[in-house]
Amino acid sequence: MPVGSYAVDTRTGQLGKVMGHEGPYVQLRPVGGGREWDCRPEAVRRATSDERERAAGRAARSEA
C-alpha cells in the first residue's frame, strides 16, 4: 500500500492515511490527525473513492 494513500483497517472498519511501513506492518493515521496505529497488511484494503471523499470532507470540517 503506497504511502499517502487511504486505506481501511478491515478489523475495525477505521479509515486511515498510510504513513509508512514498519517491519511487516502498515502504519495508518486517522484522517484529520491523531495517533498512528499498526495494521497487518492482510487486514488492510484500499479505500473506495466514496470513502476517500467522505474522509476529505471530514478533514476539511475539522480544520475549519
Where do the domains of the chain lie, and which CATH numbers do they carry?
A: 1-49 (2.30.30)
Each as own residue / partner, the long-range contacts of residues 8-15 (CB below 8 Å, 24 or more positions apart, any chain) are 8/44, 8/45, 8/46, 8/47, 8/51, 9/37, 9/39, 9/43, 9/44, 10/43, 10/44, 10/45, 11/39, 11/43, 15/47, 15/51, 15/55
pLDDT of residue 63: 66
Q: What is this structure's pTM? A: 0.83
User: Tens digits of per-residue pLDDT, 4-55?
Assistant: 999 999 999 999 999 999 999 999 999 888 999 999 999 999 999 999 888 7
**How many other CB atoms sit within 10 Å of the CB of residue 6?**
20
pLDDT of residue 14: 95
- Of the two residues 28 and 59, the one the predictor is more confident about is 28
| pLDDT reading at 58 higher than 80 | no
